[in-house]
Each structure stands twice: as structure tokens, then as C-alpha cells.
Amino acid sequence: MHRHFDRDIAELTELLLKFGAIVEDSISHSIQALLERDTELAEQVIQRDDEIDRMELDIDAATLQLIAKMQPAAVDLRFVATIMKVTPDLERIGDLAVDVCERVLELNREPQLKRLIAIPRMAKISQEMVRQALDAFVRRDAQLAREVIARDDEVDALTEESFRELLTYMMEDPKNIARAIRLTFVGKYFERIADSATNICEMVVYLVEGKVIKHADITEA
Amino acid sequence: MTTLDFERRVETNRPVTSMQQQAADVRTKISVRDFDFYYGENQVLHGISLEIPEKQVTALIGPSGCGKSTFLRSINRMNDTIPGTRVGGVISIDGLDVNTPGLDVVALRRRVGMVFQKSNPFPKSVFENVAYGLRIGGLRDRGLMEEIVEKSLRRAALWDEVKDRLNASALALSGGQQQRLCIARALAVDPDILLMDEPASALDPIATQKIEELIWELKDNYTIVIVTHNMQQAARVSDRTAFFMLGKLVEYDDTNTIFMNPAQKMTEDYITGRFG
Amino acid sequence: MSGDSWVPSVLPAYRRRPLLDRLWVALLGLSVVLILLALFLILGNIAINGAGQLSWEFISQPPREGLTAGGIYPAIVGTAMLVMIMTVVAVPFGVATAVYLHEYTPAEGPRLAWVRFRASAGRKGRAKLLLRFVSTLLAVATRSAVANLAGVPSIVFGLFGLGFFIQFVGGGMDRALHGGEIVWGQGNLIWAALTLALLTLPTVIVATEEALRTVAWEQREASLALGATRWETIRRIVLPAAMPGILTGGILGISRGAGEVAPILFTGAAYYLPYLPERLTDQFMHLGYHVLILSTQSPDVEATKPILFGTVFVLLALTFLLNLTGVLIRARTRSKMREGR
């Protein structure tokens, strides 16, 4: 049966996707700024964070209104719960992109330490994970969500690898320490972006199947 | 800007969601100022003041006996049928006081339709029920009558279910259908305002939902005031909500505000069920 | 304790009750049987003795030889005409009165109306409340008049018809229109019919009010809310819905009136007329009256006995026919309403 609330649900979905699009832009620009040592681009990303914060507030308000008006049940309820949990994750991803850019600004004051190999790979994977997480949400694809969650291990492995490599640089020469530490942070940020993407996917599985798979050691996957 | 996956991109210049859109310029359809109501010596409404906007749904909520039904019935002066009642203050529709001495109450009631809690179709055919208001209004043209009956039944989302049995008794319809028939009957005389006194309280959930969707559609063309004891219904269906208690208006605001963050503690206690 | 029934043995009555129940049912059944028996005996007696009399001649021929032979045709005609005129007078007046009492009279009693009037001192609309009070008094007066009328013995109606209709109204009309010549100032169809109408009025009024009461208030509300006046509501919604009850009341009243003899004793019935009544000023023969005459004034009791039974049979048959018609009309009206007309 037709419900006028279906329109509100569709609008909320669009709002979230718009939000996701902006966050994805931030990620891609921050990667680009890192690789091309582009100070200006990095500053743009930092500026754009205000827009991201504003959108998070908008979505919060819209979601609460929907709950108050609609008293959603079953899949509608899970949908609203998903929106409420995915939004802060996306906002955090945006913040992490900003953090990357802040480190880029600092790094660009010194010459490049080394050719980056592990970190760009991590970055690309994290970026893909975020994109696929949002895809899974739109298409209600629990299978895709699970695949993304599995990739988190890749990112963790690359983080370890990059850290070891940077350690050797630090032990080589004290003058490298500052840049190496900043690069370690950058790696950490991308790892946490991947973690947030994983959280989003866990919510997608909850939305589609009603199953809670987070904290897999306690719950059953 | 790096072009990423555009399949699910949305227009970035869409305005904020309709839920959040503030009503910019809304006309007031019914203006109430310091309205009092007495049953004999007993005062049941005290100084009610509010502005009911045009082409929106305004819900009146409150515990039993708080006066919301009495207030609703004062708008089309249905309380005149009860002996010993007295009013004070003003209720005006489009600027005209409904209690003006000498006002043609019959004409008023044609402009302000009413749907009751328990559906009360006449023991006549479906067609005759809807056409009743037209007949007493003096309409003789059968063709025009049929046209208006069909339009009203369509507007009430009942046409498809009864178009093959317009001459069957209205009493043979289900409860939800009967209530929609009563709505069609009220719509037939083309009112500006529709007053609904707990229209779905006697219906099952599916029928209730149909009525609620109908109200949502109707508000494009009619100003609707609905009394309901079901708060969730008020939240689902209305744009503005007025909370009555013991004959006084406690709070009147946008429905979103009332149900998310009301200004009065009494309102919040009622809505959260901490009341009483 | 184990193994024993937990029902204490202090309840012997529990075992005896079924017998008592059966006794009561038997007593009730007995009264039903007695009533049916009585009915059977009376009707049976009449049917056995009267049915033999029935013939075409009996129904279509006037009586001969001093009422000891012939038929009862004029009595049938007289009764029919009387009942028709009575109905035409009683039913509209009765229904109208009931409608006024139920729909236009204030709901509160005179005491409350008076209290409200006193309480409205110095406020506008006082005159209206006074009017309401007077209206309630009128209603109380009307209702008690109706109730009392229902209890008046039928012979008193007859006397009233004689004194008021015949002597006062009829006599007055004669003095005014015919210069003293007796035209209206004697027993005739119209005065008898009016007298009977008065008799049946209470029945019609009460039954109509009952019928109006069964129409739910919500129906009237719905009509008013659509912009109908009170009269339009009554005409289009209330009366049609109350019709079965009104018809029942009408038939009941007519049945009763058709059988009454005392009111027409002095107001127009004749024991023998060589002509059929044609004008309102004519006298008439009447089945019930014929029975009275045959059983008390007959010159030859043996000869008139069969005619007597025949007349009673016809009278009862007519009454049954009337009631049956009423039931059928009522049933048809009810089913039409259910289908929605």
C-alpha cells in the first residue's frame, strides 16, 4: 500500500548518499594531496570539513523527525538505526581525511622522505572499501558487505608492513624521525578509515538480514 | 574534482527534505480568540486561542474529557443541537465569526464538513448517501449529481470498491468503507474545511492506515482539523498539533516540535505516557 | 484427605436443582398450553359454527325478515368506510403529534428548564429559555393527556362523541348553516369516525414516538452536519427509518378501532338501513354493532344464532386480515430499508 512516509525514507536515503559522496571526495582528494604533495588541495579538504559537519547535523535532525512522526517498525526501524549509526562513521571518515591532509601540510615543509609504496596501497584499498560499503547500502547487498569486511585484514597487514619499514628509516637517521612518525600517523588514519568502512558494512548486514555481526568474538557472524 | 561513481550521485542542489521545510507563507483559515464554552453553568473550555492554517492538518490531542471534541464541534456549531450551551469569545472562518447572530447555520455547515467517530451512513444506497447533501442543497440535475458523486467517491479513495454497487445499501459495506463513505458524503458538498472527530478509532489497523493516507492526500485541497486520542496518529498525520487539558489549550505548535521537544512539561508528560 | 472429593458434602441442593428447574419449565409450559387452549376453544367454536354460514349470499346480500335471514353486506361496507375515515383522521394527527413531541420538544423536563431560565438572569437569550420552559410544560401536558386518554373506557368516548360532536358541533353547524334543520346534529359516519379516531390516537402516538426513539441520534447528527434543517432531517432520514414502527402502531390502532362498538353506539351505528352509506352525514351498519343487536334484540333467537356466528366469524377474519396486512407491510418496509432504497 502506498505510504506517504516512503517519500521521507527515500529523501533520507538520498541525503545519506549525498553525504557519502562528499566524504568520498574528501578521501580521494586527501590521497591525491598526499601523493602529489599538493598543499593547496590539502587545505581545500580541511575547509570542506565544515560542510561535512553541517550535513551530519542535518541528517541527525531529519532522522529524529522521521522517528517521531512515523514510529517505524521492522525493516523501517532497522533502516533508521542504520542511518543513525552510519552517519557518524562517515563523519569520522571525513575527519580522518582532514587529519591526513594536516599531516600532508606538515610533511610538505620537508623534502619527501621516501617513495611511498605501502601507504598508497592501503589508501586505495580503504577508499575502495568506503565506496563499496555505500554501494552495499544502496543495493542492500549483504554479500558485498561481508566481502568488504574481509578486506580489513589486508589493510591491517599493510599497516604492519608500513610501520616496520618506517621504523627502519627512523633507526637509520634521527633527522627522519619527524617525517616517519607523521607518515605512521597517516597510515593509522587510513587503517581507521577502513575500520569505519567495516562498521558501515556491519550495519548493512543488520539492515538487510536483521543479524548483528559486530564484535564477532561475542556474537555469531 | 575526481569523478567517482556517479550512478548513485544525487543532485547537490536539492533543497532540504520536505520534513524540515518550514511553512513559509500560510494563510490562517480558522482564527480562534479567547473562546469559552459552557454546558449550562459548567465551563468546559477556557479562553482558547489559536490559528488554524489553511490546507494543513491540525490535530487536537489530550486526555478524555479535556474538551477537544467540544471545541471541534463548536467550529461548525453542532453544539447548537445540545440544549443549555453558551459560548464566549470568537471563532472566525476566513474572518467571519461563526456565532454572528443571524448567521445561516445551514450554510455554515455546508462549508464545514464533519466526519464522526462511529461511521453513520444513512440506511440508503451508497449513491443516495453521497448525494444527500446535494439533494438538500436543491440540486436536481441527475447528470451533474452522478458526476459529483463519482468525484467525491474517488476523492475518498472508495470509488473502485463501490463503483459496481452504487445502488446497494450503504450498510452492507465494511466499517472502513463506511467511514470513507461518510467522508465522501461530506466532500460532496465541496466544503473548505473538514472536521474529523476520531475518525479511525472504531476501525482495524489496515482501515485506519487507509484513512490516514486519505487524510494526507486530502489536505492538498481541504483544511483538516482532526481530534484523536491516539497520539501516534496525530504524529503521523498532522502538520500542527494542539494539546488540550481540562478545557485549556496547553501547547500548540508544529507537530515535529510537540513530539520531539515540547515546551511544556505537561505536554511532554502526556506524550510520554507519564501522565496520570 | 487424599482421594476424597474436594466438594464439601454440605451442598445437597446441588443435586436437587435439575429437578426444580424442570418443574419451573413445566409450569411455564403449562400456562402457554392453557392460553393456546383458550384461544383454540374460542376460535374453534366460532369457526365451526360460523364457517358454515359463509356463502356468497351471506357476504353480498343485505339482511331480510327482521335480521333473521339474509346477509350482512351493509355491515361490512359500513365497517370498512368507518375504519377508512378513522384512519385518515387518526394516523396523520397521531404521527404529527408524536413527531412534534419527540423532535421539537426540549429534552429536559420543566423543572430543569425552569432552573435554567432562573439562572440566566441578566444574560441575553433569556426569552428563548422562557420559551423552552413553556414548551416543556406543553410537552408534559400533551403526554399526560395522551396517557390518560389511553385509559378512558370506550363507552365514555361514545358519550363524548354524542355530547361534543353531535350535539355541540353538529347542532351548532345546523343552527348556523341549516336554520335549525337537523343535518349534522345526529349520528353519522363522520362523527363516529372522529370519535373512534380519538380512541385510537394514543396508540398511534405512543407507537410512533417509540419508533422515532429507535432512530439513532447519530443519524440526525450526520444529516444536520451536512447542512440540513431539522425538518429536512425528519422528512428524509428520521421518518423513513421509523416507518416500520409507525406502520405497526397505525395497524394496531386501526385494528383496535375496527373492533370497538361502544363509541359508535350513539354516534352513528344503525341496526338496519335499507341503503348503503354514501355521504359523511349518512348513518351506517357495523359488524360489531350487528353482533350486539343480533344477540340482544333478536325476535327469533334460534334463527339468528347462525347469522350471529357468521358475523363474528367475518369480523374476526377482517381483523386478522388487517393485522396480517400490517405485518406484511412492516416486513417489506424493513427489508427494503436493509437493501437501501
C125 CB neighbours in chain B (<8 A) are: 86
- C17 interfacial to chain B (CB closer than 8 Å): no
Contacts of A10 in chain B (CB under 8 A): none
B202-249 residue pLDDT tens: 899 999 999 999 999 999 999 999 999 998 999 999 999 999 999 999
pLDDT (0 to 100) of residue A47: 94
For residue C341, is pLDDT > 50? no
- Inter-chain touch B19–A28, beta carbons under 8 Å: no
* Model confidence at C61: pLDDT above 50: yes
Q: How confident is the model at residue B20, as a pLDDT?
A: 37
Average pLDDT over residues C173-196: 85
Assess whether chains A and C touch, using the rule of 3 or more C-beta pairs within 8 angstroms: no
CB contact under 8 Å between A61 and B20, yes or no, is yes
Interchain CB contacts (distance < 8 Å): A and B:
71
pLDDT score at B7: 35
- pTM: predicted TM-score of the whole model, two decimal places: 0.80
Residue at grid coordinates 477537544: B68
- What DSSP string runs through chain B? ------TT---TTPPSPTTT----S--EEEEEEEEEEEETTEEEEEEEEEEEETTSEEEEE-STTSSHHHHHHHHTTGGGGSTTEEEEEEEEETTEETT-TT--HHHHHHHEEEE-SS----SSBHHHHHHHHHHHTT---HHHHHHHHHHHHHHTT-HHHHTT-TTSBGGGS-HHHHHHHHHHHHHTT--SEEEEESTTTTS-HHHHHHHHHHHHHHTTTSEEEEE-S-HHHHHHH-SEEEEEETTEEEEEEEHHHHHHS-SSHHHHHHHTT---
Amino acid present at A204: V
Torsion, Cα of B216, B218, B223, B227 (10° steps): -60
CB contact under 8 A, B260 and A68: yes
Q: Determine whether the interchain pair A131/B235 forms a contact, defined as Cβ–Cβ distance below 8 Å.
A: no
Q: What is the pLDDT of residue C71?
A: 78
Tell me the domain boundaries of chain C. 42-340
Decide if C225 and B128 are in contact by the 8 Å CB cutoff. no
CA distance C216 to chain B (A): 9
**pLDDT confidence bin for C49, thresholds 50/70/90:** confident
Instruction: Give the SS3 label for residue C53.
Output: coil
The per-residue pLDDT for C5 is 66
Interface residue C59 vs chain B (CB under 8 A): no
Question: Which residue ranges in chain B fall short of pLDDT 50?
Answer: 1-23
Is the CB of B171 inside 8 Å of chain C's CB atoms? yes
| Alpha-carbon gap, residue C217 to C214, rounded angstroms | 9
Q: Which residue of A7, A65, A131, A135 to mutate against B (max B Cβ within 10 Å)?
A: A65
Mean pLDDT of C101-125: 80
Interface check for C57 against chain B (CB to CB < 8 A): the answer is no
Tell me which residues of chain A have a pLDDT lower than 50. none
The residue in chain A having the minimum alpha-carbon distance to the alpha carbon of residue B21 is: A62
DSSP state of C168: I
Chosen from B2, B6, B8 to mutate, greatest number of chain A CBs within 10 A = B8
ipTM for the whole complex: 0.85
Identify which of A218, A213, A192 has the alpha carbon closest to the alpha carbon of residue A203: A213
CATH pick for C42-340 out of 3.40.50.300, 2.60.40.1180, 1.10.290.10, 1.10.3720.10:
1.10.3720.10
Span C313-317, average pLDDT = 87
pLDDT band at C47 (very low <50, low <70, confident <90, very high): confident
Contact check, Cβ <8 Å, A21/B256: no
